Amino acid sequence: MKNLNIGMIGYGFMGKAHTNAYCQAPRFFQNEYRPVLKALCARNQEKAQGFADNWGYESVETDWRELLKRDDIDAVDICVPNNLHKEIAIEAAKAGKMILCEKPLAMNVAEGEEMCAAVEKAGVANMVWYNYRRVPAVTLAKQLIDEGRLGRIFHYRAFFLQDWTINADVPQGGAATWRLDAEAAGSGVTGDLLAHCIDTAMWLNGGIKDVSAVTETFVKQRKHAETGEAAPVKIDDACSFLCHFENGSLGLFESTRYARGHKALNTLEINGEHASIAWDLHDLHRLEYFDHRDDSIVRGWRSIHVSDGDQPYMDHWWVPGLQIGYEHSFTHQVADFLKSLETGEAAHPNFRDALQTQKVCDAVLSSAGERAWKSV
């Protein structure tokens, strides 16, 4: 076995999800490479040390530039707010490190282009954490589509609905609420939530040609979490868009943080000539499937419990009938990344794939701003 020494930058919610995946992947998947939790990097020494001790990182750095200088780090995981992705990724590529970057790739397309150029010039392995592709039911959807079971696709529909920012007292900025601060996040629900839907959509249904979007910012002013000063809110609180896919199908996407009662309703439905599929993150181990070719007397939506060994990834887990959860999508992503190092075939989504998602996001935001259709 070869060690793959990980240097993790950041320790928030995603820092935990990724670290857990590095721990689990080699236990459940047989690969030549095994991640080693070499260093955890964050500005606050005490908090960084606490995280490192809890998860088993061997050392701590408080300056990411020092982390990049270390010869004992093979791969850097960028788990910090979006405005820091570009600089760290470019410097990491120059230092010859592999890069696993949290989504969205960048603040905008221009930054994403620079990041792609840097990793491609350096020839370093790279990947972006769009994890929902690797929920087994979603991977199964991909398999069914690629097998042609749906026939010609007419419609793709996706929603990502939350409700955690309805209260106008929720601040913007700071460690917990940087997603509401345009300076740190770049955009609101478009980059944070719709980007997931777009990544999955293009993986399942191909490229998006053009978009027509509306956005809204319902709470116009919020206090800053650190300074307490009230300032205009510059992110999109909600965004809906229509699109044409390159395969001729129509897309409908909606995302908001103002859908009272929905915490993370991430859904997709695809309607084809012969069959339809639907998936819902709240019931993530199920894939709903309707096939018009079934005998009419038994025809109807079937709910496939994706837990059998011949379904994607499931032969690595428990026994048929026992389901897995959200965190496993990250473990699968690490396992696939490790496999890619073995085979030499790029892991996806890589920076270039994620740049395409960024292009759709930018087109969505500019369409909403200009109230016009925009090609991607």
Binding interface with ligand SOE (CB under 6 A) = 162, 192, 196, 264
Edge-to-edge, what's the strand order for the sheet holding 275-280?
Answer: 302-305, 286-291, 275-280, 265-272, 153-161, 250-256, 238-245, 208-216, 374-375
Q: What is the nearest approach in angstroms of ligand SOE to the Cβ of residue 58?
A: 28
Q: What is the nearest approach in angstroms of ligand SOE to the Cβ of residue 181?
A: 14
SS3 356: helix
Q: What is the nearest approach in angstroms of ligand SOE to the Cβ of residue 144?
A: 23
Q: What is the nearest approach in angstroms of ligand SOE to the Cβ of residue 150?
A: 26
Please say whether the beta carbons of 205 and 253 come within 8 A. no
β-pairing, 265-272 vs 275-280, is: antiparallel
Please say whether the beta carbons of 192 and 165 come within 8 A. no
Q: Of 65, 63, 62, which Cα lies nearest the Cα of 94?
A: 65
Report residue 357 CA to chain centroid gap.
10
Nearer to ligand SOE, 60 or 99 (CB): 99
Nearer to ligand SOE, 162 or 333 (CB): 162
**Cβ neighbour number for residue 259 with a 10 Å cutoff:** 17
Nearer to ligand SOE, 31 or 162 (CB): 162
Q: What is the nearest approach in angstroms of ligand SOE to the Cβ of residue 162?
A: 6
Q: What is the nearest approach in angstroms of ligand SOE to the Cβ of residue 13?
A: 6
Q: Which residue is nearest to ligand SOE (CB)?
A: 192
**Cβ neighbour number for residue 214 with a 10 Å cutoff:** 15
Q: What is the nearest approach in angstroms of ligand SOE to the Cβ of residue 59?
A: 28
SS3 283: helix
Show the DSSP H helices in the chain as ranges.
13-28, 45-55, 64-69, 85-94, 109-122, 136-146, 174-177, 182-185, 189, 195-205, 327-343, 351-370
Residue 219, beta-bridge partner list:
none
